[in-house]
Structure 1
């Protein structure tokens, strides 16, 4: 089983290789950003993709969207430092078959790859419980109001990207991105870029 790992941190990539070294039937492939990840996926057609949400250009959500547009049956696991159940829920909305937190048990990644590789889905038990029992608390999180595409635009705005740059990165029109940006501000109740950046940092989006 060939597994594409898309992560821009060499230490994380090395750690993934080490964790997977005990699985004789798993052959890892690597990429460091969305662009190279898309190229490797197209060329190699891996069985499973493990994609970091916070990639240096467009996010893992956007990469997952592009891969699934090419291959709707692609098996994707989203990988993140953030264990907020909202991120897991958005990953599922995008079409991912699994979600793993980098701060969790390393065996979660192995189990996720094996299960998703078999055609199943995977959430670490701790995150699954948080989603199941979040109830009204999850709805109170500002992030719960945003779609995965809106989260992507918040992240890029927080990184200082202009609306024109964001439109190019997410392969959309300037008008669409501008309208989405306005909707985001209304949903989050913020008026300035500074307020948006502070909120994004506080909730692990930036």
Structure 2
């Protein structure tokens, strides 16, 4: 069986490198690439690949939001999330929203191939360093304030820091503006911040958004 893979990353060099590695495998085929999560979602619906390698930080919709939408739409594609940050606080949340794999962009070619094969079988794959950190965090009880948020609250938070108004978020999520307002207040209370600027700084500090995205300013 040939594993069909889609690459979703806003850096062309990253996609090129991954494509070269994967195309050398007799059991893998890269069937499409996208530079944004929005285009990536359209590609997944059209191609229905087995695995998608998805960058966390992209202009517009993030890899977290994309993963959430893939799961909610019950698409057959399994997600491997890619990031430059090896941070235990972030992978835990990503795995909770539905990603099956987590890799840093500095992984070896052998690790990339192994992760794709394992996730294609429906098995979870964590970069070794991340797996070790998760185990240690479980033992010592350390966590992130974002662990307190539901998947939907996290999604609303990410849209808020991109500067989207409540009405636009409501439309994106097929919710009423009043419901989104409730989510906003609830997540701000849980995180103990009082406005979106503080939320953006907190999300950057925990690796959930990067420094290019601060309260909707890229």
Distance 1:15 1:92 in 2: 25
Higher alpha-carbon deviation: 164-173 or 130-139: 164-173
Match of 1:15?
17
Q: Tell me if structure 2 keeps the 8 A contact 1:62–1:149.
A: no
Does residue 30 of the first structure (1) align with residue 30 of the second (2)?
no
Does residue 79 of the first structure (1) align with residue 82 of the second (2)?
yes
Q: Tell me if structure 2 keeps the 8 A contact 1:8–1:32.
A: yes
CA RMSD in angstroms comes to 2.1
Q: Tell me if structure 1 keeps the 8 A contact 2:90–2:208.
A: no
Distance 1:72 1:194 in 2: 34
Cα distance 1:203–1:87, how it changes in 2: closer, same or farther (>3 A)? closer
- Which residue of 36, 42, 46 corresponds with 1:43? 46
Q: Tell me if structure 2 keeps the 8 A contact 1:88–1:99.
A: yes
- Displacement of 1:113: 0.4
Match of 1:118?
121
Higher alpha-carbon deviation: 54-63 or 109-118: 54-63
- Which residue of 122, 138, 146 corresponds with 2:142? 138
Distance 2:64 2:180 in 1: 16
Deviation by residue 1:20-61 (Cα, 9 ceiling, x = unmatched): 232132111212223222221121111111222223222222
Structure 2, unpaired ranges of 5+: 210-218
TM-score, normalising length: structure 1: 0.87
| 1:11 partner SS | helix
Match of 1:5?
7
Cα distance 1:100–1:158, how it changes in 2: closer, same or farther (>3 A)? same
Deviation by residue 1:47-86 (Cα, 9 ceiling, x = unmatched): 1112222232222222223323333543221222332223
Higher alpha-carbon deviation: 11-20 or 102-111: 102-111
- Displacement of 1:124: 1.1
- Displacement of 1:137: 5.1
Distance 1:130 1:145 in 2: 19
Deviating beyond 4 angstroms after TM superposition, the runs of 4 or more aligned structure 1 residues are: none
Report the count of equivalent residues: 205
Report 1:61-100 matches (<5 A).
61-71=64-74, 73-100=76-103
| 1:138 partner SS | coil
